[in-house]
Amino acid sequence: MLTYKILGPLEVMRDGGALPLGPAKQRALLACLLLNADATVSKDRLIDALWGQAPPDRADQNLFQHVFRLRKILDENGRPVLIRKDPGYLIQLGEDDVLDARRFEDLLNASRAEPNDAPARSLELLEEALALWRGPALADFAFDDFAQTDAARLEELHVVAEEERMEALLALGRPNDAIPELRTLVQNHPLREHLYALLALALYRAGRQAEALNAIQSARTALSAEYGIDIGRELHQLEEAILRQDRELALPEEKPAPATVETIPERVVPARPARGERRRHAKRGRRTVVVAAAAVVVAVAAVSTAILGSSDQDAPAGRTDTTGGPTPPRLSWTEVPPTYFEGLGQQKMLGGVETSPGFLVFGYSSSPAAVGGRADFNTAVWRGAPHLRWSPVEDSSFRGPGSQRATDAVEFGDGDIVLVGWDESGGDFDAAAWVRPSASTDWVEAGIEAQGPSGQLDQQIRDVARLGQTLLAVGWTSTDEDSDAAMWASRRGRSWTFVEGAPSHEEGDQEIAGATASTAGIVVAGGWSEGDDGDRDAAVWVTRTPTYLHRVRGQTSLGGSGDQQINAVIQASNGFVAVGEETVDGDTNAAVWRSRDGRDWERVNDPTTFGGRGQQRMFCVTVSDLGFIAAGSDQTDPDHWDAAVWTSIDGVNWERSRSVGSQMTALTDIGDQEIKALLPFEGGIMAVGSERAPGEDWDARVWIGAPLPR
């Protein structure tokens, strides 16, 4: 008996154990065949699925080799599973074999076949169906064209099944069970009006009328902000019914559990097709979903091609040398007067963001007094403009009995600003966020649910990316044993949900340090992962949804001898650029990686520019009219390091800014300097970091870079 799983990462189970499916192309071949189980898939179609428009010269032979290896893995006790049948191949499911996607749809249809007065049985079937999901459908193949339409169809059915499960809970008189799950569903699918309607109805039946009306208002705000439209008829009618306290909305008292239900009340839920109608039109509805999903995929693919498939000629304009090659810009640096940032204790700047009122830079500061033998750090924020005076932003929410710090921020179009970081006030490190509404000068600490089985893990948010009105924060959770990559999701930053299992847990340590969202709706995150040999490899995760981060596998360019790690990722017109560091035999050099689509990465090999005497690290990168600029630190001896800057026109050819005359004096002053963020502005670049004189505390610093003539 074989169990095939595509509702999540691809897996095949036999006798409770997972089969080794081989390399990426071999796995893609199996996925393509499973999407057409019991039907023949032509060789031409399989070659197109595996290699697209650029198949290798020996594509037929390569395909045969993959089929040969898969057949040996899958064939069971002499029973053929992967069969050759003109004009191609097929996967033949045995009588006892299970394909989770097919099982899911069978259970969903069985639930819809139940009569209206049997919601308990419907709920049982739906819960069995939803339990089959382990992540996004075909998660391993999120960017493979052959999987897009089927994955979109299955994801749509997944959400519909969740909606119908919530309907069954409400029909059983269990609104309090439905409310927390509906809040998560609304956050993950903020444009589905029916989910808002179900949430409003559940709140109303739980005696929370004001919150029910607020849920409908939230739908109105979301649709207006995203598309400039009002809510539809379903929500309008429900809002009016709640305001007049329509008796048809009420249900008998909540039943303790489906198994004990004796009298099933008539279901009163926001209007949907009756079960009989759904059953009669199931095939037609499924076809409609496929067509709609395909249209969405085509639209997204068009945008992705426009953004990620553009040529290197789309890179920022720069100068060329006499040989015609791109010449990176050279910058002169000046230091913003230190008196704007100095104070008692330490200050360290970790990031910055340009907002409509001006720039915000942030990090943490400490009072001179020590708590428990060490300094107590508070979130620190300054506001200002590159060449003007900076002033601290004081707010009581930035302080607490433990340490707090801010690591990244984002502004919405209406002026709301969200800071993310962490807070140690509870005794351990917890993910934290602060929100400043556009109409206020006060900051409010956002609510973030407890993480881990008991909420006692350490959590740290390092970066945040924005997809429309949804925020995805990334970082890690850790215990005394190991650390795991982690993700949190929020609708506009007011409250946050820890996305359990978003990055799948792995052996060893994993941490995410940076993330970026592309205009094509792709989030790419970078960090590192500990391999079986104990070394660190650079790691990349990608997603299009706020529910799952898919780890990019099989990229030799992200590993190598020694340790590699990514510290920051950005999107550029010709793809993505990641920067970080590599340590081999105790020597650390800066490192750069590039990708056109976020999943296939190549290492930019330039040891002369990225290496040198001492330790070099890239902490941040940006792209502006001047080109690509990366920055970090250069430790020239064990007791001293300077801020370091690299520039490039195309992301491939880099130049290290050197101390020439007084050009780099501001970044190579007496003491230590480091740059943690870069913020472009018209005519220059702002570097955000910290500096300390010998024997002194760290102080926040801002440097201004201006282009030098060639």
- The SS3 call for residue 397 is helix
Q: Are 486 and 480 in contact (CB under 8 A)?
A: no
Q: What is the pLDDT of residue 692?
A: 86
Percent of the chain scored above 90 by pLDDT?
45
Q: What CA–CA distances, in Å, run from 638 to 413, 500, 613, 641, 672?
A: 45, 41, 11, 8, 11
Task: Report CA dihedral (179, 182, 187, 193) to the nearest 10 degrees.
Answer: -120
Tell me the pLDDT band of 278, cut-offs 50, 70 and 90: very low
Q: What is the pLDDT of residue 65?
A: 92
Quick one: fold of 326-704? Methylamine Dehydrogenase; Chain H (2.130.10)
- The SS3 call for residue 446 is coil
What does the DSSP assignment read for 137-172? Answer: TTGGGTT-HHHHHHHHHHHHHHHHHHHHHHHHHHHT
Q: What is the pLDDT of residue 221?
A: 85
In this structure, of 29-38, 217-226, 562-571, the range with the lowest mean pLDDT score is: 217-226
Q: What is the pLDDT of residue 599?
A: 83
Its pTM stands at 0.65
Q: Is residue 200 scored above 60 in pLDDT?
A: yes
Tell me the pLDDT band of 450, cut-offs 50, 70 and 90: low
Q: What is the pLDDT of residue 326?
A: 57
Q: Across the strands, what pairs with 370?
A: 375
Q: What CA–CA distances, in Å, run from 102 to 36, 155, 158, 305, 700?
A: 11, 13, 13, 32, 58
Most confident of 117-121, 291-295, 327-331: 117-121
- For 412, list phi and psi in degrees, rounded to 5: -90, 165
Q: Which residue has the higher pLDDT, 341 or 433?
A: 433
Per-residue b or e along 445-457, where b marks 16 or more CB atoms closer than 10 Å to that residue's CB: bbebeebbeeeeb
- The SS3 call for residue 260 is helix
Mean pLDDT within 261-270: 38
Q: What is the pLDDT of residue 268?
A: 42
Cα–Cα nearest to 487, from 463, 506, 521, 458: 463
**Given CA atoms 355, 361, 362, 365 in this order, what sign does their dihedral have?**
negative
Q: Is residue 553 scored above 70 in pLDDT?
A: yes
Burial of 254 (0-12, 13-18, 19+ CB in 10 A): middle
Cα–Cα nearest to 526, from 546, 551, 501, 545: 551
For residue 665, give the DSSP letter.
G
Q: What is the pLDDT of residue 456?
A: 56
- The SS3 call for residue 290 is helix
Q: Is residue 708 scored above 60 in pLDDT?
A: yes
**Given CA atoms 144, 149, 155, 158 in this order, what sign does their dihedral have?**
negative
Tell me the pLDDT band of 88, cut-offs 50, 70 and 90: very high
Q: What is the pLDDT of residue 307?
A: 29
- Tell me: the pLDDT tens digits for 615-629? 999 999 999 888 899
Q: What is d(CA 536, CA 525) in angstroms, rounded to the nearest whole number?
A: 16
Q: Are 487 and 524 in contact (CB under 8 A)?
A: no
Where are the strands (E) in 450-586, listed by range? 458-467, 470-478, 483-491, 495-498, 510-517, 523-530, 536-543, 550-551, 563-572, 575-584
Percent of the chain scored above 70 by pLDDT?
84
Burial of 377 (0-12, 13-18, 19+ CB in 10 A): buried
Q: What is d(CA 152, CA 145) in angstroms, rounded to the nearest whole number?
A: 11
Q: Is residue 309 scored above 60 in pLDDT?
A: no
- Tell me: the pLDDT tens digits for 7-28? 988 999 998 888 999 888 899 9
- Owner of token pair 């993910």: 431
Q: Which residue has the higher pLDDT, 550 or 434?
A: 434
Q: What is d(CA 44, CA 63) in angstroms, rounded to the nearest whole number?
A: 10
- Tell me: the pLDDT tens digits for 494-529? 889 888 778 877 888 999 999 999 877 889 999 999
Instruction: For residue 506, count other CB atoms closer than 10 A to its CB.
Output: 15
Q: What is the pLDDT of residue 628?
A: 93
Mean pLDDT within 687-707: 87
Most confident of 272-276, 422-426, 448-452, 535-539: 535-539
